[in-house]
């Protein structure tokens, strides 16, 4: 599978590495990166204060301060790039990025210290991750109920499925003070993603297998403004992933949290140590979401687009499901609860669901070109034995699996799609299997098919008791997303009805992440135009456009319909977004519908069953 990050020792002229193509020079290497973007606004989290924090175009989050046990359960989304959850013991690598951190040292406990860390946040952050899984840590147990290799839409996990792993005081796998040069004052998404890739290289994690259960926490120094943090003041941290030549890399951006007091400062505890509450509250939030949705959004998400951490963020201490101090062998840390399907509530305690001794990762359905080289790694985690043997059945002619490494390789001229079963055995007699479909097709692209990126694609998430739509679509007025019987949906109960208002334009939009490393994007939906406008001129219109996530400025008008384009029912519409999204690839774009009515609202533009796919 071709990645879009390729770290090399190149010293070629800069015109061979244009910034417009995503090239960044870092650590004496050229790195081509398509950056990620926070895919949930709950990572951002406006805290519950009297201050109103400006909103930005990110997926909406509505903190209440109270647990809501009427929330829907999280469901499995099928995995992305052969990854659904962190199925082995989680490993966290912390990067302190930039010379702005000052000089590195060590404290009495062996934690890395930094001379320009006035809050002493670095050793606190390290000790939190170092302590996870110790002292009867039942908080870590909550996440172990989730798994991969189950049917999309599942809410429960069989005992023999690969569950989220649990650390045993070894989650902190490494610390890198990258202070050879200054970090950018206002790091862009390409620069943040490049730093995560540089960290993988620094720690020697340069293979798919070595990054399978890993996350990188890119941490910036006081006063820096990564990804517009200070201007927006609407998020505290975020996580995403990127495709790379090292496999997929899960990473978190963690700014210097006490720069903004609403990111957890003294949220539970008083005094100097309490000023660091945010580092473990946000640290626990991003960590929990990463291990249950490592390659977002392929893991465990609810219908409204919230991960397990989102559903339980900023609930008041002392109330059910509220923030609390977690006692670990390395100290006491303020953390949030996370959503438990088993208990149907926000929980800080759950028995650890132990994985079987031998776990083999999900393999996604994929395609490869006819008679071209194929390379598919199979990744297994085994706590009983390191002597593993791999076998496979159903492989197309010309392909084989290396019995020692699990790499499926070769080339095939046998056209078609076949079900392949991979079995792994260890010397202790344990066995695990996984199954996937492999298509050898003419002119096929390499790699996994992208999963659905639109949250609530069919508009089936109902309004709450107050009439507010809790999903990720943004509508200009309530009722555009509707289950009204005045018109019919194409499927299910919900649909979007634009053109209801004659006095103002109706708009409907969703921010969608064009995940780094993918190179193509396609948007589709079903449209029914129902009009009583007798004019022979185009008076009532529906416009579909692609917008920039920060400025809201239009990238492109994709298509326009009018009252002259009536249909007898829903008709399919498909648009290749690649030519328009290419300059934005790796960031988040906004897909936006706008209807305009002249005179009375005589034309109904009905939209249903949307889809945004990457490849």
Q: Is the pLDDT of residue 580 over 50?
A: yes
Question: Of 448, 465, 487, which residue is a domain's last?
Answer: 448
The DSSP bridge pattern shows strands 541-548 and 554-562 to be: antiparallel
pLDDT in tens, 102-160: 999 999 999 999 999 999 999 999 999 999 999 999 999 999 999 999 999 999 999 88
User: What mean pLDDT is predicted for residues 497-502?
Assistant: 92
Residues 219 and 332 in one domain: yes
Residues 395 and 487 in one domain: no
Residues 363 and 335 in one domain: no
Domain with 430 in it: what CATH number? 2.60.40.10
Residues 439 and 528 in one domain: no
Q: Is the pLDDT of residue 606 over 70?
A: yes
Sign, CA torsion 16/19/25/29: negative
Eight-state DSSP code of residue 214: E
Residues 201 and 251 in one domain: yes
Residues 485 and 583 in one domain: yes
CA atoms within 13 A on the CB side of 320: 8
User: What mean pLDDT is predicted for residues 259-276?
Assistant: 94
* Helical residues (DSSP H) of 225-276, grouped into ranges: 229-232, 271-274
Does residue 57 form part of some domain?
Answer: no
d(CA 71, CA 64): 12
Q: Where does the pLDDT of residue 232 fall: very low under 50, low under 70, confident under 90, or very high at 90 and above?
A: low
pLDDT in tens, 539-577: 999 999 999 876 778 999 999 999 999 999 999 999 999
Report the number of distinct structural domains present in the chain.
3
Q: Is the pLDDT of residue 61 over 80?
A: no
What does pLDDT average to over the chain?
87
User: What mean pLDDT is predicted for residues 198-206?
Assistant: 97
Question: Of 278, 312, 347, which residue is a domain's last?
Answer: 347
What is the model's pLDDT at position 47? 34
d(CA 303, CA 73): 8
Does residue 456 form part of some domain?
Answer: no
Inter-axis angle of helices 277-292 and 121-131, to 10 degrees? 40
Residues 315 and 384 in one domain: no
Q: Where does the pLDDT of residue 591 fall: very low under 50, low under 70, confident under 90, or very high at 90 and above?
A: very high
Does residue 52 form part of some domain?
Answer: no
Domain with 576 in it: what CATH number? 2.60.120.260
Q: C-alpha distances in angstroms, 339 versus 70, 140, 253, 270, 304?
A: 12, 12, 22, 27, 14
Q: Is the pLDDT of residue 10 over 70?
A: no
Residues 144 and 279 in one domain: yes
Does residue 211 form part of some domain?
Answer: yes
Q: Where does the pLDDT of residue 66 fall: very low under 50, low under 70, confident under 90, or very high at 90 and above?
A: low
What is the model's pLDDT at position 396? 96
pLDDT in tens, 508-518: 999 988 877 77
Whole-angstrom Cα Rg for the chain: 25
Does residue 549 form part of some domain?
Answer: yes
Does residue 276 form part of some domain?
Answer: yes
User: What mean pLDDT is predicted for residues 219-236?
Assistant: 87
The DSSP bridge pattern shows strands 112-114 and 373-376 to be: unpaired
What is the model's pLDDT at position 5? 24
User: What mean pLDDT is predicted for residues 84-105?
Assistant: 97
Question: Of 317, 347, 377, which residue is a domain's last?
Answer: 347
Residues 232 and 158 in one domain: yes
Domain span holding position 97: 81-347
Residues 541 and 507 in one domain: yes
Residues 127 and 253 in one domain: yes
pLDDT in tens, 325-378: 999 999 999 999 999 999 999 999 999 999 989 999 889 899 999 999 999 999
* Cβ atoms 238, 221 nearer than 8 A: no
More confident residue, 51 or 86: 86
Residues 304 and 368 in one domain: no
Does residue 47 form part of some domain?
Answer: no
Q: Where does the pLDDT of residue 456 fall: very low under 50, low under 70, confident under 90, or very high at 90 and above?
A: very high
- Angle 95-97-101 from CA coordinates, rounded to 5°: 110
Q: Where does the pLDDT of residue 28 fall: very low under 50, low under 70, confident under 90, or very high at 90 and above?
A: low
């Amino acid at each position: 599978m071709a990645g879009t990050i390729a770290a090399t020792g190149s010293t070629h002229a800069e015109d061979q590495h244009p910034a417009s193509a995503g090239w960044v020079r870092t650590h004496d290497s050229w790195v081509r990166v398509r950056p990620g973007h926070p895919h949930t606004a709950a990572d951002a989290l406006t805290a519950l204060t009297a201050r109103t924090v400006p909103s930005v175009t990110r997926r909406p989050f509505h903190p209440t301060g109270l647990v809501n046990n009427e929330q829907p359960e999280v469901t499995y989304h099928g995995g992305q790039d052969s990854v659904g959850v962190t199925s082995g013991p989680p490993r966290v690598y912390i990067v302190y990025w930039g010379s702005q951190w000052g000089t590195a040292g060590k404290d009495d406990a062996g934690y890395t210290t930094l001379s320009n860390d006035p809050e002493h946040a670095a050793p606190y952050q390290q000790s939190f991750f170092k302590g996870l899984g110790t002292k009867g840590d039942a908080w870590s147990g909550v996440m172990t109920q989730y798994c991969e290799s189950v049917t999309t839409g599942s809410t429960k996990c069989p005992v023999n499925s690969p569950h989220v792993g649990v650390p045993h005081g070894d989650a902190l796998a490494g610390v890198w003070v990258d202070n050879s040069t200054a970090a950018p004052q206002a790091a862009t998404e390409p620069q943040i993603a490049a730093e995560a890739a540089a960290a993988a290289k620094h720690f020697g994690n340069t293979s798919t297998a070595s990054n399978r259960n890993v996350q990188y926490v890119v941490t910036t120094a006081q006063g820096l403004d990564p990804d517009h943090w200070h201007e927006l003041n609407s998020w505290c941290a975020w996580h995403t992933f990127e495709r790379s030549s090292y496999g997929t890399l899960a990473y978190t951006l963690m700014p210097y949290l006490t720069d903004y007091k609403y990111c957890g400062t003294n949220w539970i505890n008083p005094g100097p140590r309490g000023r660091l509450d945010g580092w473990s509250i946000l640290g626990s939030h991003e960590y929990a979401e990463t291990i249950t949705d490592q390659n977002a959004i392929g893991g465990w998400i609810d219908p409204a687009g919230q991960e397990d951490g989102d559903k339980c963020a900023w609930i008041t201490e002392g109330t059910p499901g509220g923030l609390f101090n977690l006692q670990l062998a390395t100290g006491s840390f303020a953390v949030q609860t996370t959503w438990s399907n088993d208990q149907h509530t926000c929980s800080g305690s759950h028995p650890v669901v132990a994985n079987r001794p031998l776990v083999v990762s999900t393999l996604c359905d994929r395609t490869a070109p006819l008679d071209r080289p194929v390379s598919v790694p199979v990744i297994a985690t085994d706590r009983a034995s390191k002597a593993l043997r791999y076998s496979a059945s159903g492989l197309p002619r010309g392909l084989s699996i290396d019995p020692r490494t699990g790499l499926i390789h070769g080339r095939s001229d046998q056209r078609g799609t076949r079900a392949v079963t991979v079995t792994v055995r260890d010397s202790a007699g344990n066995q695990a299997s996984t199954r996937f479909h492999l298509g050898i097709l003419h002119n096929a692209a390499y790699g996994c098919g992208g999963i659905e990126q639109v949250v609530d694609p069919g508009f089936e998430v109902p309004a709450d008791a107050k009439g507010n739509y809790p999903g990720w679509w943004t509508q200009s007025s309530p009722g555009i997303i509707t289950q009204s019987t005045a018109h019919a949906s194409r499927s299910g109960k919900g649909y979007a009805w634009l053109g209801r208002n004659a006095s103002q334009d109706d708009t409907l939009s969703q921010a969608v992440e064009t995940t780094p490393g993918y190179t193509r994007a396609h948007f589709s939906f079903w449209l029914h135009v129902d009009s009583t406008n007798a004019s022979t001129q185009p008076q009532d219109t529906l416009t579909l456009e692609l917008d920039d996530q920060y400025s809201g400025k239009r990238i492109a008008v994709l298509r326009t319909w009018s009252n002259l384009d009536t249909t007898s029912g829903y008709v399919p519409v498909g648009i290749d977004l690649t030519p328009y999204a290419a300059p934005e690839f790796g960031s988040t774009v906004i897909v936006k519908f706008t209807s305009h009515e002249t005179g009375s609202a005589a034309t109904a533009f009905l939209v249903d069953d949307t889809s945004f796919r990457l490849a």
